[in-house]
């Protein structure tokens, strides 16, 4: 059975949209300027800024206005409590598995937070497995996490595909292992010269469909 490794945040689920909604609710609850939404989203940098750095900056900005525990709650649960799996993405995963693919999520992040997203969206009932960087002690693009994904579902790594939105974590990781990949662009333009994805798709459902069609 061929292996299909899929990123979670901003690939299978729209993590940025969920976090934006959580931040908006946070600002409203604490009577903070709605314009601060732009600042928080830029600070967060699509989840790539370390949590402790985001927490420190927000604590400094909202000192004496917001309890530290409220900031921690936003960062720990805000996105995880709001993510959804789009119907088209669910249908594409079902189609891949019907075609004989073994689907496994490969995601960087904290185990509790990422597993909460996987279970909330029902992905735990769809994919064959998942690996999370905190749990395995390695993160994308390190090759070990991709090997761990293959081991988790007992499927050979070679011949597998990687789908993800991060040029560095997903596509460079696949390239280093000689794996084929699809970059989920989310409307962005590819800007790397040293490596390229096998294909570029606007969203994960289109990416999955491409993999299935190409491999037939």
Give the separation between CA 74 and CA 81, rounded to whole angstroms: 10
Architecture of domain 3-14+85-215: 3-Layer(aba) Sandwich (3.40)
Give the separation between CA 12 and CA 86, rounded to whole angstroms: 8
How open is the CA angle 143-135-83, to the nearest 5 degrees?
Answer: 100
Residue ranges covered by each domain of the chain: 3-14+85-215, 15-77
212: number of Cβ within 10 Å: 19
pLDDT in tens, 55-82: 999 999 999 999 999 999 999 999 999 9
How far is CA 128 from its chain centroid?
17
Give the separation between CA 82 and CA 22, rounded to whole angstroms: 8
pLDDT in tens, 136-176: 999 999 999 999 999 999 999 999 999 999 999 999 999 99
Tell me phi and psi for residue 43, to 5 degrees.
Answer: -60, -45
Average pLDDT, the chain: 96
User: pLDDT at position 1, please?
Assistant: 79
Q: How far is CA 145 from CA 43, 85, 106, 131, in A?
A: 27, 24, 8, 7
């Amino acid at each position: 059975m061929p292996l299909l490794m899929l990123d979670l945040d901003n690939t299978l689920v729209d993590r940025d949209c969920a976090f934006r909604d959580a931040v908006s609710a946070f600002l409203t609850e604490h009577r903070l300027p709605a314009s601060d939404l732009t600042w928080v989203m830029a600070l967060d940098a699509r989840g790539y800024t370390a949590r402790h750095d985001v927490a420190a900056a927000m604590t400094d900005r909202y000192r004496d206005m917001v309890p530290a525990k409220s900031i921690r709650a936003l960062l720990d649960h805000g996105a995880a409590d709001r993510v959804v799996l789009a119907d088209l993405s669910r249908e594409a995963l079902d189609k891949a598995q019907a075609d004989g693919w073994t689907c496994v999520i490969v995601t960087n992040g904290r185990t509790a937070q990422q597993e909460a997203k996987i279970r909330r969206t029902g992905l735990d009932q769809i994919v064959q497995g998942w690996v999370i960087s905190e749990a395995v002690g390695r993160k994308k693009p390190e090759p070990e996490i991709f090997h761990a994904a293959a081991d988790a579902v007992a499927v050979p790594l070679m011949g597998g595909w990687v789908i993800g939105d991060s040029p560095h974590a997903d596509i460079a990781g696949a390239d280093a292992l000689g794996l084929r990949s699809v970059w989920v662009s989310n409307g962005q333009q590819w800007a790397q010269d040293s490596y390229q994805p096998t294909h570029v798709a606007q969203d994960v459902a289109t990416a999955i469909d491409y993999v299935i069609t190409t491999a037939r």
